[in-house]
Structure 1
Amino acid sequence: MNSTEQLCLSLLHNCKTLKTVKQIQALTCKTGLDTDRLVSGKLLLHCAVSVSDALVHARRLFFHFPDPDVFMSNTIMRGLAESDTPQSSIVTFIEMRRRGSIAPPDSFSFAFILKGAANYGSLRAGIQLHCQAMRHGLDTHLFVGTTLVSMYGECGCVCSAKKVFEDISEPNVVAWNALLTACFRCLDLKSAEGMFDRMPIRNLTSWNVMLAGYSKAGELELAKKAFLEMPVKDDVSWSTMITGFVHNGCFDEALGFFRELQRVGMRANEVSLTGVLSMCAQAGAVEFGKVLHAFLEKAGFLSLISVNNALMDTYSKCGNVGVARVIFERMPKNKSVVSWTTMVAALAMHGHGEEAIQVFHDMEASGIKPDGITFISILYACSHAGLIEEGCEYFSLMIDIYGIKPAIEHYGCMVDLYGRSGKLQKAYDFVCQMPILPTPIIWRTLLGACSIHGNVELAEQVKERLSELEPSNSGDHVLLSNIYAIAGKWKNVAAVRNSMSDQRIRKTPGWSMIEVDKIMYTFVAGEKQDKVTEEAYEKLREIMSKLRVEGGYVPEVGSVLHDIEEEEKEDSVSRHSEKLAVAFGMRRLGTGSIIRIVKNLRICRDCHRVMRLISRVYRLEIVVRDRSRFHSFRDGSCSCRNYW
């Protein structure tokens, strides 16, 4: 190896951008090394795998080389298989095989291309590649066989994964782990447990696969049992437990694992930290989020883009979009598409439609290409701010300019956009003209709009469609019942309630959470009282009395059954969980504190009015995050401008 070759390879080792790659390529052309297989192979590998935006250039390099060897072929297959379009690896492989412009495949070739089929989720392509591997006598090769097991697992065929595994003569621990993962992917917990017991040797990865599998299946007690039995734990083990409990809504337990992680002296990693931040975001635990923020700053984690993204999400979902914006502005210059999308979504949730649009334009100006999730966020922003024309423009922009095919979520945003603004017939026509079958969520969005605007006739049509798809959904029955009640159609209300009773459909109980002194308290409407709820009820009675005298409050009981006494109706709406949570917060929190509530259902009109009155009479700021959006109450007004 001459000095020029050494120089090129050394420069490549430290190369991180496409611009510098092209400069090194220019040097190879100038010195005649562009035909050197070693240098060209390393240059291709760097473009295909190491530099994030250089894959297109890697393809040009590959097809420019006159006689690519198997290493080069495998490199381009590897890069394509691990890209955002893994199907291109399969297409490219087939084209090159037909043209004869590719070296005969080896075990690495099939391992990479099978990974492409797995990432794409194409069982058909996977089976065809399996046949090709058999034709070349490589299907029982340890490397290829292990990848085949993973491919069948990703495609949901655990039986085929098991059969391939049995044909591997001497499976190693990696192959065993691949089969274990395949069983969990297919939700075959019994087989996974059997395989784990049969394993001749287990490594740390084997245990971590069990933890992840149990957590994703919702079997948290089994995950906890396996965790306690582990001979050695690493940061992945702890992260898996924290994120697993967070995703299953068990925030207290997740927090317990994080505290135990610190107690035993383990250093929290990027995954565990983002997991705990996600827990804070979902639970609305802003005070604990602030503690984590200080820890992250002290430990030097704020240089990581993913941690900043999680921190932004936490503050925005805890009702403090101002701090989220500050974090966004202070982030390193290389913000990702996730960073921009998180900021757009944060502003959208809080009803700041115009600001969300401005951030979207700033994103485009910075050279970051918005993806499908970004467009969901911007359409959501338009919907919740009543920006109908702008929403329609962005929907067209997504398709015509960015070439993004609308997913069901995008169609749902458009239905919501029309529905919230009262254009119910246009929303209905839009659903009927969709090129894909509308899901229950689409129809449910329209039913919610019918409820907001009191359109009984259209609500009945929509409910018929929902009954065909999900006849036992309690929320649909309750929505229709409320629509009838507000319209005074009490016989129809009774019919819906009787139908629910006959089908044994129970209404989803409403709950609200509030954080006081870094402890999360949950209130459920009608739940058996304890000391905490008694304290909340006592304060609530005092509040309601004051609101009647000083705020002119009269309960909105239009949707409460007509055949009970007026006093009972008032008592029914006064026991809603968000009222109890606010009362508890007013009792426990100091003067001047912002009361932050997280609710699982959409806030009702009566509670919305009560929050506005409390904010005026008591001069408090209240932030409620319901299932739909944020409501910030100040001086008798709400940030949603009664548009929710």
Structure 2
Amino acid sequence: MSLRPSSLTNFQRPIYLWNLMIRDSTNNGFFTETLKIYSSMTHCGVHGNNFTYPLVLKACANLTSIPLGTMLHGHVLKLGFQGDTFVQTGLVDMYSKCSHVECARQVFDEMPQRTVVSWNTMISGYSRVSLMNQALMLLKEMWGLGFEPSSSTFVSVLSGYSNLDSFEFCLQGMSIHCCLIKLGLVYFEVSLTNSLMGMYSQFCQLDEAKEVFYLMVEKSIISWTTIMRGYVRIGHAVEAFSIFNQMQHQSIGMDFVVFLNLISGCIQVRELLLASSVHSLILKCGYDEVDSIENLLITMYAKCGNLSYARRIFDLIIEKSILSWTSMIAGYAHSGHPVEALDLFRMMVKTDIKPNEATVATVLSACADFGSLSMGQEIEEYVFLNGLESDQQVQTSLIHMYSKCGSIKRAREVFERVTDKDLAVWTCMINSYAIHGMGNEAISLFHKMTIVEGLMPDAIVYTSILLACSHSGLVEDGLKYFKSMQNDFGIAPTLEHFTCLVDLLGRVGQLDLALDAIHGMPLEAQAQVWGPLLSACRIHGNVELGELAADKLLDLSAGNSGSYVLMANLYTSLGKWKEAHKIRNLIDDKGLVKECGWSQVEITSRFHSFAVGNQSQAPAL
């Protein structure tokens, strides 16, 4: 009488029944269950075969468990499967997915026979960790030995460029595109063409990505979202919405990735009406309760200037994640509402959710904007109590907070504690010296960073060093760094650099030089630097040049009351009361609103704000 498989005990099951159970659990994604079944099988004295181990190794690879993987490797060696191509390929795949690419290569090199799948697996292993030179060398070797690459080979290679951005790798990607055209694979294999578009999008080559997109014979939802994401990535949200409209006309079904791209586009455009329309579509399609979408919606409304909508979404989330709290806190902090950000942080620490590095960095930014040294010190205590003191994002935020709150000494102490300083840490400390008018200290630190430590400066650190020279009146140094930035490091000046240059020359009365510098700038930069020149004209009493700067400003930003106020202050400082009165009347005639000046003081951990014209007195100390 034959026995049914379900009626057999573990010790009665033959190998093929164990293999069926292992196959079913692996194919259904129950990888932990697969390993439990294998463990039971070995305890019953049943040895795996060349069908068992590829499946068990696949489960181990998906769990990224290198201890279990090496144990399985030992079993494979003990049972003599060194010459089995399928088992050895499974080992290569397991080691690759567990980020042990050297071990994968060792197994690969020792294989007596290889298939196209074996080569693809090893190439994929290199691509997964973005070792693209090794991946391409292996691809050439594979081709030279007569193994023709398949579409999956190139999908693996192209995916390896997802975290790279240098021009060298872009050229490699273009050469792969040429190979695909030569082999006749491109435009017909959807997954391959999507990977090709993704590669071009990663390198911000959207013209090439768009050309690939429109030449595709068949497009999937991934094709549409890839090209949309590419446009959003380079800041061209309008083009992304245009692609979305085309997608709707094609009656392509939408998934949550589409909405992630649309929300990211709204964050760039910052138009509330558009943001509300996207939100309505999300509600209609039922994706409003997806965690990643909820959190992005909070950021979207905050960026569009509607914090009440952002808070409403936050309050409606039943199970708030750390990302939900951080998104709302960041919304307040980055919209100029540090008090609300700090209040929300206090609420958060009373819950079961523990702030992470990003949350703490955001709250420290709010403390810096609010000038709350006492709150900042409390958060630093929290940082030490919760073991976050070694995180560089937190350390950088602490340096920024202390410097903005007036304690440059504490900022330097935090800086000195950082063991492995990256460019952001150095830049933050240099900027701290800059805003405190400590130009020589900033220059000294810059020299230490570039000469002693050998770090390559970027545009941001040059903004800080130029700011330091400006605030300290170090004209020659500032001009030297402005030239060095371009000549020695090939950094093109940005608006921030041009503004620092005009401010630098204006502060020391070199107004003619400042004017010459403005005339040599691109037109889009000129529009932003007349303000610093006008301020310098007021300081040095140059009415003629001030009137020229004011005329340029009023032409460029007629609706900005600040330009009128600057010119009125210039006339007032020289005793030209009629002219000043005339300018101030223009503010009223044009219906412009001048923002009131205000300040605040912290007294016994309480903050008191004072606006111009406010007759109330501060409480006695």
TM-score, normalising length: structure 1 = 0.72
Corresponding position: 1:303 with 2:383: no
Kindly tell me: are residues 74 and 509 of structure 1, through their superposed partners in 2, closer, same or farther at Cα, counting changes over 3 Å? Answer: farther
Q: CA deviation at 1:238?
A: 0.5
- Checking the alignment, whether the CA contact within 8 Å between 1:246 and 1:275 is kept in structure 2 is yes
Hey, what does 1:130 align to over in structure 2?
213
Whole-Å separation in 2 of the counterparts to 1:292 and 1:305: 15
Whole-Å separation in 1 of the counterparts to 2:412 and 2:206: 44
Q: Which of 129, 135, 148 is residue 46 of structure 1 equivalent to? A: 129
- Checking the alignment, whether the CA contact within 8 Å between 1:211 and 1:223 is kept in structure 2 is yes
Number of residue equivalences: 515
Q: Which of 199, 211, 224 is residue 145 of structure 1 equivalent to? A: 224
Corresponding position: 1:430 with 2:511: no
Whole-Å separation in 2 of the counterparts to 1:338 and 1:122: 27
Whole-Å separation in 1 of the counterparts to 2:208 and 2:460: 28
What does residue range 348-427 of structure 1 map to in structure 2 within 5 Å?
348-364=434-450, 365-427=452-514
- Checking the alignment, whether the CA contact within 8 Å between 1:220 and 1:245 is kept in structure 2 is yes
Q: Which of 88, 97, 116 is residue 177 of structure 2 equivalent to? A: 97
- Checking the alignment, whether the CA contact within 8 Å between 1:345 and 1:378 is kept in structure 2 is yes
Corresponding position: 1:240 with 2:327: yes
Kindly tell me: are residues 152 and 430 of structure 1, through their superposed partners in 2, closer, same or farther at Cα, counting changes over 3 Å? Answer: closer
Kindly tell me: are residues 184 and 309 of structure 1, through their superposed partners in 2, closer, same or farther at Cα, counting changes over 3 Å? Answer: closer
Hey, what does 2:610 align to over in structure 1?
523
What does residue range 335-346 of structure 1 map to in structure 2 within 5 Å?
335-346=421-432
Hey, what does 1:565 align to over in structure 2?
none
Whole-Å separation in 2 of the counterparts to 1:30 and 1:362: 46
Residue 406 of structure 2 aligns to a residue whose secondary structure is coil
Unaligned runs of 5+ in 2: 1-80, 144-148
Hey, what does 1:347 align to over in structure 2?
433
Hey, what does 1:156 align to over in structure 2?
237
Residues 366-402 of structure 1 deviation map (CA, whole Å, 9 limit, x = unaligned): 2321111011011111111121121122112211221
Corresponding position: 1:449 with 2:546: no
Whole-Å separation in 2 of the counterparts to 1:60 and 1:117: 18
Kindly tell me: are residues 77 and 315 of structure 1, through their superposed partners in 2, closer, same or farther at Cα, counting changes over 3 Å? Answer: farther
Q: CA deviation at 1:345?
A: 0.4
Identity %: 28
Kindly tell me: are residues 102 and 460 of structure 1, through their superposed partners in 2, closer, same or farther at Cα, counting changes over 3 Å? Answer: farther
Hey, what does 1:222 align to over in structure 2?
309
Hey, what does 2:291 align to over in structure 1?
204
Q: CA deviation at 1:489?
A: 1.9
Whole-Å separation in 2 of the counterparts to 1:393 and 1:69: 55
Residue 347 of structure 1 aligns to a residue whose secondary structure is helix
Kindly tell me: are residues 458 and 219 of structure 1, through their superposed partners in 2, closer, same or farther at Cα, counting changes over 3 Å? Answer: same
- Checking the alignment, whether the CA contact within 8 Å between 2:165 and 2:203 is kept in structure 1 is no
Whole-Å separation in 1 of the counterparts to 2:221 and 2:311: 33
Q: CA deviation at 1:207?
A: 1.6
Unaligned runs of 5+ in 1: 16-20, 49-54, 537-583, 589-644
Whole-Å separation in 1 of the counterparts to 2:369 and 2:326: 17
Hey, what does 2:281 align to over in structure 1?
195
Hey, what does 2:72 align to over in structure 1?
none
AA at the equivalent of 2:177 = R
Q: Which moved more, 1:306-315 or 1:353-362?
A: 353-362
Residue 301 of structure 1 aligns to a residue whose secondary structure is coil
Kindly tell me: are residues 43 and 160 of structure 1, through their superposed partners in 2, closer, same or farther at Cα, counting changes over 3 Å? Answer: closer
Q: Which structure has the greater CA radius of gyration?
A: 2
Q: CA deviation at 1:295?
A: 0.3
Aligned Cα RMSD in Å? 3.3
Residue 567 of structure 2 aligns to a residue whose secondary structure is helix
- Checking the alignment, whether the CA contact within 8 Å between 1:270 and 1:307 is kept in structure 2 is yes
Kindly tell me: are residues 111 and 361 of structure 1, through their superposed partners in 2, closer, same or farther at Cα, counting changes over 3 Å? Answer: farther
Residue 198 of structure 1 aligns to a residue whose secondary structure is helix
Q: CA deviation at 1:337?
A: 1.2
Hey, what does 2:558 align to over in structure 1?
471
- Checking the alignment, whether the CA contact within 8 Å between 2:93 and 2:125 is kept in structure 1 is no
Q: CA deviation at 1:438?
A: 2.8
AA at the equivalent of 2:544 = E
Q: CA deviation at 1:458?
A: 0.8
Whole-Å separation in 1 of the counterparts to 2:486 and 2:204: 24
Q: CA deviation at 1:79?
A: 4.9
Q: CA deviation at 1:31?
A: 7.0
Q: CA deviation at 1:180?
A: 4.6
Residue 47 of structure 1 aligns to a residue whose secondary structure is coil
What does residue range 227-626 of structure 1 map to in structure 2 within 5 Å?
227-333=314-420, 335-364=421-450, 365-527=452-614, 529=615, 533-534=616-617, 536=618, 587-588=620-621
Q: CA deviation at 1:437?
A: 3.5
Q: CA deviation at 1:225?
A: 1.1
- Checking the alignment, whether the CA contact within 8 Å between 1:180 and 1:195 is kept in structure 2 is no
Whole-Å separation in 2 of the counterparts to 1:37 and 1:376: 46
Whole-Å separation in 2 of the counterparts to 1:196 and 1:346: 43
AA at the equivalent of 1:211 = I
Which structure would you say has the larger RCO, counting Cα contacts within 8 Å and 6 or more residues apart? Answer: 1
Kindly tell me: are residues 478 and 176 of structure 1, through their superposed partners in 2, closer, same or farther at Cα, counting changes over 3 Å? Answer: closer
Whole-Å separation in 1 of the counterparts to 2:495 and 2:352: 45
Residues 327-360 of structure 1 deviation map (CA, whole Å, 9 limit, x = unaligned): 1111132x22111110110111111111111211
Residue 525 of structure 2 aligns to a residue whose secondary structure is coil
